Structure 1
Amino acid sequence: MHHLSQEHSKSSHWIATWTASTQPLWGEELPFPNNMAALSGQQTVALRLRVSLGGKRLRLLFSNEYGTQPLILGPVSVALGSNTQKHQTLLFSAQPQAVIAAGKTLLSDPLELDIPDLASLFVRFYLPQRCPVSSFHWDTRRTVTLLPGNQTLVEHVDSCTGTEITALPVLGAAWVETSTNRSVVAVIGDSLVDGNGVSIDSDQRWTDHLAKHLVPHGVAVVNAGQSGSRLRQNGIGISAKIRFERDVLNVPGIRLGILQVGLNDLGWPGTPLEPDTAPPSAAVLITAYQDLIAQAHAKHIPLVGLTLTPFKGAFGGSPFDAFFTPEKEAIRQALNTWMRSSQEFDALIDLDTLLRDPQDPQRLRAALDVGDHLHPHNHGNQLIAESISIKTLLSLLQRSEITA
């Protein structure tokens, strides 16, 4: 990182304003397509992302964390507000391209760019190699366009020549330099955080709405959801236990964590993913929650929990209809009872009560159901954000700043 003058560093710092939690690419070992087959190399990856807080300078973080060989990253460019605006080139140690070592990440040099809060940032980066990319984010809820050749600085890109996917290779985060009184909330979880059920390119995830509520208070919200993620074990994505340090504790500017995970720990056992595995007990999962709470508190970061949502009927009629069983429902109820009664989380967002059907509390309310009996749609996500007490979050943030 470039050294800032002592005077400059007192008035500003770097914070994360957008993240896409990186995970290892899978092959045929999982029954879900990785949505990366069209990435063949010698292509420009183009997407729009929405920042949370703005700033005066920008850095982008690229990942080869799960690669086994170096990854060449070609030119990278960004434009603010509109894809038709002139793109500016980001550099790496003053060079227009870089090599990301296997198992590592790489941060760009700072780029002078006056970015407003909640602005759209159009990013393009060129991947010249034909070797496979191993680090990606599966479920971006965003259109990612693969364009032939290096089109990072092409003024008028013909998107018809590209291939659209919804997975994102290599790009892991955007940082901005902003005033020191601005901070970050990191939300880690599974598909309910990642936005499964929300319209593509809509910015309607509940974390997107939460960002709108917190940005006026100088607080960014970054999304570290991974669809399919579990609390304790890897599988479709990396477990919250493994990535908690990277995706929450070490996020630049972090002052508060929000944890939503655990339903996949119950759901996947007994399905084609793990046909011979029994679900973990409530006691085992509670211990895992307590471990993450302790890790956060050791760094003076409050941690907010979310109760596990109703899931009766999830994947019904499919090979995965054993995702829900009465035994698993009993464990979910035990976990929610513990969350409500123990007060071990610094605050609790009771999604179970908010989203359940009053006539059948084991089910997601039909009016909020995207159709899979597991995920809420756009309006359901908006309802989640509106249910969260901004006053409570601001109080926890203030406490964190005092004790940090």
Structure 2
Amino acid sequence: MTSTWRRLGASLLVTAVGAAGLVAAAPAGPKGTASGGPANTTSSGLRTGPVTTWGAADDIAGGTLGDMTVRNILRTSVGGTDLRIRISNANGDQPLVTDSVYVGRQAIGAAVVPGTSRRLTFGGSTTVTIPPGAMALSDPLPGPVPALTSLTVSLHVVGSTGVITAHNRAMQHSYKSTAGDHAADESSTPYRTESSAWYFLNAAIVDAPRPVQTVAALGDSITSSVGSTIDTNRRWPDVLANRYAQLPEPRRLGVSNEGISGNRVLGGIAKAGSAGASALARLDQDVLTKPGVRTVLALEGINDIYAGATADELIAGYRQLIARVHASGRCIAGGTLTPVGGSFVYTPEKEATRQAVNAFIRTSGEFDAVVDFDAATRDPADPSRLAPAYDGGDGLHPNDAGSAAMGQAPDLDALRCQ
């Protein structure tokens, strides 16, 4: 593992919240801003600040939604207190109006653990109108939020949505209700339709002691972990989050999955039927505006190579990502591109491009750290291909075992930005 961090201070003690679940409200205190503004103080005197415990990148889902409730399922990485939810209408073409948003602990499927559902407010109101291109941040929900816990976020849509901001191929089912507001209903009864997208959710944010940081995994379908088993949290960023949860408190980090299936480093903006805005176009919105993100782990470029990008073009894109992340005062690690032999992407020429790109990532020294996902997943007998035990069946997407190998690849301490 190569690691050369260029900036920023030493780590302090991190205190984790216990596994007590989303529970009854604790007394509220004065809040700092979700962009990392004034810190709060815990009862033990530690300064705290906002940290992203879960995140998703904004894309576009087909169709529209009207007068119904969507119940999303998300899984926290680090624990904290005072949960906030960021709702996105970034790709919408008309205002998104919701008058009922509830958070609870998931039981099974769409069902909520009885007694855990609590209502969110926005500036003290239960109704919020989000203009096209904008987001809304909820007020803090007082009380502890544990690490590695599946939460439900249920949102009633007033009227029609128009274009839907969503995250497709989430590898997690969400649920759509029959008509009406069912956000407070803890049963699964009204939720009769499954979907594989997260609707309108951009981030879950908790207050945590100041040393806590978040790693944002910026990538494509391999980071979204298409090929892993749905509803089981076996994406490689989940495996990484599990590893951090086992560390002593001062070494834990949060993980935010910012992969979009089909995404490219180069390219344009999001549109219906697209694979999201390019990494260069979405870096600020999807990554740098998420509270507590200190390290970007970039694993992206296979779709660029498939589309005809040269190694020089892709390296120029990486250099822009590096420059912008460094200019924001953060660190960036480069992930080598995983094998594509036997897939629709592969040709000898494109394999040569992949190898040239990986050589840059490994040896240029321009990234602050390197994670060699290629070495972790390739077949020793044929390095152009995934190891047979890791192949999800298309020669491109790792299966559960492959995702586990990828999640084990990063050096955990090297991803802390110092």
Amino acid at match of 1:184: T
Partner of 1:174: 204
Are 2:93 and 2:162, in contact at CA under 8 Å, matched by a contact in 1? no
Partner of 2:8: none
SS at match of 2:360: helix
User: Alpha carbons of 1:80 and 1:155: their partners in 2 closer, same or farther (altered >3 Å)?
Assistant: closer
Partner of 2:370: 348
Partner of 1:370: 392
Are 1:133 and 1:170, in contact at CA under 8 Å, matched by a contact in 2? no
Partner of 2:3: none
Name the CA distance, whole Å, in 1 between partners of 2:261 and 2:138: 27
User: Deviation of residue 104 (structure 1)?
Assistant: 0.6
Q: Deviations over 1:27-83 (max 9, x none)?
A: xxxxxxxxx55x531111113211011112011111111112111112000113531
Partner of 2:330: 301
Partner of 2:320: 291
In the alignment, does 2:118 pair up with 1:79? no
- Of the three residues 10, 23, 40, the one matched with 1:8 is 40
User: Deviation of residue 250 (structure 1)?
Assistant: 2.4
User: Deviation of residue 3 (structure 1)?
Assistant: 5.9
- Of the three residues 184, 204, 212, the one matched with 1:153 is 184
Are 1:80 and 1:115, in contact at CA under 8 Å, matched by a contact in 2? no
TM-score by length of 2: 0.83
Are 1:133 and 1:169, in contact at CA under 8 Å, matched by a contact in 2? no
Partner of 1:329: 351
Name the CA distance, whole Å, in 1 between partners of 2:342 and 2:208: 46
User: Alpha carbons of 1:155 and 1:351: their partners in 2 closer, same or farther (altered >3 Å)?
Assistant: closer
User: Deviation of residue 287 (structure 1)?
Assistant: 0.9
Partner of 1:24: 60
- After superposition, where does 1:108-187 map in structure 2 within 5 Å? 108-148=138-178, 149-158=180-189, 162-187=192-217
Partner of 1:312: 341
Q: Deviations over 1:249-305 (max 9, x none)?
A: 2221122110000000011x3xxxxxxxxx121111111101111111222312111
Partner of 1:402: none
User: Deviation of residue 387 (structure 1)?
Assistant: 2.2
Name the CA distance, whole Å, in 2 between partners of 1:4 and 1:388: 34
Partner of 1:61: 86
User: Deviation of residue 226 (structure 1)?
Assistant: 0.5
Amino acid at match of 2:70: V
Name the CA distance, whole Å, in 2 between partners of 1:164 and 1:156: 15
Partner of 1:239: 278
SS at match of 2:159: coil
Are 2:59 and 2:167, in contact at CA under 8 Å, matched by a contact in 1? yes
- Percent identical: 35
Partner of 2:256: 222
Name the CA distance, whole Å, in 1 between partners of 2:288 and 2:185: 38
Q: In angstroms, what is the RMSD of aligned CA positions?
A: 1.9
SS at match of 1:223: strand
SS at match of 1:128: strand
Per mean C-alpha deviation after superposition, the further-off stretch among 114-123 and 371-380 is 114-123
Name the CA distance, whole Å, in 1 between partners of 2:278 and 2:325: 16
Name the CA distance, whole Å, in 2 between partners of 1:47 and 1:128: 17
Partner of 2:302: 263
Amino acid at match of 2:182: Q
Amino acid at match of 1:20: A
In the alignment, does 2:72 pair up with 1:47? yes
Higher relative contact order (CA 8 A, sep 6+): 2
Amino acid at match of 1:254: V
SS at match of 2:396: coil
Name the CA distance, whole Å, in 2 between partners of 1:201 and 1:169: 16
Are 1:186 and 1:247, in contact at CA under 8 Å, matched by a contact in 2? no
Partner of 2:13: none
Name the CA distance, whole Å, in 2 between partners of 1:154 and 1:250: 32
Per mean C-alpha deviation after superposition, the further-off stretch among 46-55 and 222-231 is 46-55
Amino acid at match of 1:221: V
User: Deviation of residue 324 (structure 1)?
Assistant: 2.2
Between Structure 1 and Structure 2, the one with more helix by share is 1
Alignment gaps of 5+ in structure 1: 26-35, 270-278, 315-320, 400-404
In the alignment, does 2:418 pair up with 1:393? no
Name the CA distance, whole Å, in 2 between partners of 1:7 and 1:371: 48
User: Deviation of residue 381 (structure 1)?
Assistant: 0.9
Per mean C-alpha deviation after superposition, the further-off stretch among 257-266 and 104-113 is 104-113
Are 1:181 and 1:218, in contact at CA under 8 Å, matched by a contact in 2? no
Name the CA distance, whole Å, in 1 between partners of 2:339 and 2:242: 27
Q: Across the two proteins, how many residue pairs are aligned to each other?
A: 366
Are 2:65 and 2:157, in contact at CA under 8 Å, matched by a contact in 1? no
